[in-house]
Amino acid sequence: MNNFHNDHKDHFNEIFYKNYLIKSHITNVYYKSPDNLILISPINDPDNIFVLGIDHDRMLGDRSVPHNLEDAYSYIDWVTEIKNTISKEKEQ
């Protein structure tokens, strides 16, 4: 486990949802804001961190888009659905 998880533990609220860990910075607001910092990682792979709300654009560079915890839940639901669909297709 990298040092990020240990060094910044007091700065984040941790939420477990569908085998994922959501870390929401303590200064986040409940409404969608580009300033919210939300990190998502699988529980079984905590070093695989997804930063919610970052748009990677080759022409314009990285930018933060408005997001909140509801978007984190939606993202995890979407990833879970995709993984389930892939698993079912492999079984056939």
**Three-class SS state of 13:** strand
Contact 76, 20 (CB under 8 A): yes
Kindly tell me if the per-residue pLDDT of 91 is higher than 50: yes
Given CA atoms 78, 58, 46, 31 in this order, what sign does their dihedral have?
A: negative
The arithmetic mean of pLDDT across residues 54-69, rounded, is: 80
What pLDDT is stored for residue 6 in this prediction?
53
The pTM of the whole model exceeds 0.85: no
Compute the distance between CA of residue 63 and CA of residue 57 in angstroms, rounded to an integer: 8
pLDDT in tens, 64-83: 888 999 999 999 999 999 99
